[in-house]
Structure 1
């Protein structure tokens, strides 16, 4: 029996991955404590594990003895005191709670998860602080940067995983791999691999889509019509498209959709050319996205009716003029979908704020992806019970840990390192504060 605690538990992604790994290896496991403060996440956790997470870890006084710690801890700013070794101080951060519990209980091992930016925060000092603190507690450390897309889910999600083993450096045969940088690179990699092998199985977005979804996940008639007009009636052109102003490439803009007023083809071409070329160095390096004169614009868009095009766009408030220079009107547009996923590739990283605004074209019709599809992008099985409130579910899966990555790390760790199981009746150790 391996006993573990699940800190900053969220909806239990780390716990689920850990339990699945133990089950696959024929090892019994028991969660002796879970801790979470978000009320809706606690509701989802209880639905799936029949376990009521304790609240704030800073207020927990007693924990049963355990072998393994799981923690997807929040990364708050660490202080940098300019000490001789170049390390800061963990006091005042939630990582300090992890440090404190490791010091008291000395479990055999732990896995910590965080965003990859942890390694570069404060010029790397934050990460050095963490590793130094863990090593001072007697743990050997191994860390991995892994992309979820390499672990059976079609999501481009790079996270850092810190593995610790009491008394010696853990042996891990997994290697850091950040994977493809975007969905286009992912498809290129698949194509190259297919040249050397007729059989190359990989999970794509199309593989996690539900066959039938409720009407509420489809777009409003008005927005669907705007998209229809923007892609000339070919919705498949939306695959991999981002809806955003101020970026060229594979994007659709407010002027393509006619958000502030319908634009002619010439007007759309003008705006698209402007946002693409205004970043070029030939127009100056003092800032990103320069305002350009009409003479500069004519170097890449020389149209006989350019004055009329500019006047019309200013009238519709897609374009502004200041001192004879032109630039798109600033401000973010809010669309029902901000990114359409490519069914033949991987998803962008799910986030808590935007998971509900990812779209897909399925059977020739555009829609938003569902909470169940978000769960699948994070490696949660279909037996996992979703929070009944869609907004809560989208947020939770945007914050979650990818289950399949945790399972792979735990299986690899247990296979290559010795973990002694606790006694049948573990001690309960009070925390002295």
Structure 2
């Protein structure tokens, strides 16, 4: 029996992958404590695991004894701590609570998950702080940068996974692999495989689509009409397109759609040329380009109707003019879909803010992804229950951890370190009879009843 805790638990993705791996080896487990502060995520967790984990781990001092820690802790800036304390102080960050509990309870092992940027933040000093802290607590540490798309998950999602075992060397054979840099690169890398469907060992977007999605997820008639105006009669041409006003390339813009009012061909040409040229180094090094003067713009827009075109665009709200410099009025234009996924490739990384506006063209019709499809993009099985609150689910799946990655890592840990896992699993004997007598374990956060944790 392995007793574990699940911190910053979200909707339970790490726990689900952990338990799935243990079951493959007939290793019994028991979650003795879970913690999550987002109330909607807690509702999803309770719906699937039978107890509500609502609590603030920063305020929790006492926990039941446990053998293994799971934690998808949020990352905050370590710069101040690093500069002042030689990269050895994590106070003021949520990792401090992970560190605090590891130091107090000294579980045999842990699995931590975080964003890819943790490894490069503050020129790598943040990550150095964390690893040094874990070593100082007596843990041997292995970490891997892994892309979910390499684990039969149809999503480009790179995350850092940190495994630790107390005072014992261990081996992990899964190697870091950040995978394809985007969906186009994914097709280039894997396109040949798709010619042989029976040999395909990776998932793509079409694999996660529902056959008969609810009509409420289809794009409105107005937005669909606008898309047809730009792309033509065949909406399948939208595969891979992004709707954004700050980029050219495989993009559609608000002025092309007529979001603020229809534009003439010259107005569309003007805006597209402005977007394409304002980022050139000769005009500056601003990341998203800089405002340009009339003289600068006329180096690439050479038609004689500059004044009439710019006046019309300013009136419609597509263009601004401050200090005699012109700039696109960009930002979130409330597109119903901001990215149409290519069914033959992988999804872009799901995020909490934008997952609800990912789209796909299926059977010639444009629509948004359903919450279930987003769950599938994180590797959650269809047996995982979703809230009826769509917006909450979209946010949760944007924050979630890809279940198959966790399952693979823990499977790898078990297969290559049997003696260590045996020590963890057999450290104490938990028979069905003895479990009923464990009333001495405290109920520790007001909102969390430990008696509900038993499964």
- TM-score, structure 2 normalization: 0.88
Pairing 1:353-364 to 2, within 5 Å after superposition:
353-364=353-364
CA distance 1:285–1:29, shift in 2 (3 Å): closer
Bigger Cα displacement from structure 2, 3-12 vs 71-80: 71-80
Give the gaps of 5 or more residues in structure 2. Answer: 445-455
Deviates more, 1:312-321 or 1:258-267: 312-321
Taking the aligned partners of 1:87 and 1:186, their CA distance within structure 2 comes to 37
- Please state whether the residue corresponding to 1:334 is helix, strand or coil: coil
Match in the other structure for 1:154: 154
Aligned to 2:134: 134
In structure 2, what is the equivalent of residue 21 of structure 1?
21
Partner of 2:252: 252
Name the SS of the counterpart of 2:191 in structure 1: helix
Q: Structure 2: how far apart are the matches of 1:196 and 1:391? A: 38
Find the aligned partners of 1:163 and 1:69 in 2 and give their Cα distance.
10
Aligned to 2:203: 203
Residue in structure 1 matching 2:428, options 420, 423, 426: 423
C-alpha contact (below 8 Å) 1:88/1:125 kept by paired residues? no
Give 1:109 deviation, angstroms: 0.9
Q: For 2:295 and 2:61, how far apart are their aligned partners in 1? A: 71
Question: In the aligned structure 2, how far is the partner of 1:266 from the partner of 1:280?
Answer: 22
After TM superposition, the structure 1 stretch with the greater mean CA deviation from structure 2, 5-14 or 423-432, is 423-432
The answer to which of 41-50 and 74-83 deviates more is 74-83
CA deviations 1:329-379 (Å, max 9, x no partner) are 344322111111111111111111111111111110101101000100000
In structure 1, what is the equivalent of residue 83 of structure 2? 82
| In 2, Cα distance between equivalents of 1:365 and 1:15 | 37
Residues 165, 280 of structure 1: CA spacing in aligned structure 2 closer, same or farther, 3 A cutoff?
Answer: same
State the Cα deviation string for residues 78-106 of structure 1 (Å, max 9, x = none): 3325357x314112322122112212222
Q: Match of 2:348?
A: 348
User: In structure 1, what is the Cα distance between the partners aligned to 2:50 and 2:286?
Assistant: 58
- Unmatched 5+ residue regions in structure 1? none
Question: What is the alpha-carbon distance in structure 2 between the residues aligned to residue 171 and residue 345 of structure 1?
Answer: 33
**Structure 1 equivalent of residue 229 of structure 2:** 229
Q: Secondary structure at the match of 1:320?
A: strand
Partners of 2:315 and 2:347 in 1: CA distance: 37
1:401 is paired with a residue of what secondary structure? coil
Structure 2: distance between partners of 1:342 and 1:226? 20
The Cα offsets for residues 301-332 of structure 1, whole Å up to 9 and x where unpaired, read as: 33364554334323323223445543323443
Per the alignment, residue 316 of structure 1 pairs with 316
CA contact (8 A) 2:151 2:202 kept: no
Question: 4+ residue stretches of structure 1 with deviation over 6 A?
Answer: 194-198, 426-432
The 8 Å contact of residues 62 and 431 in structure 1, kept in 2 or not, is answered as: no
What does the per-residue CA deviation read over 1:17-56, in whole Å, with 9 as the maximum and x for residues that have no partner? Answer: 0011011222222212111222211111111111332522
TM-score (norm 1): 0.92
- 1:271 alignment partner in structure 2: 271
The count of residues paired between Structure 1 and Structure 2 equals: 431
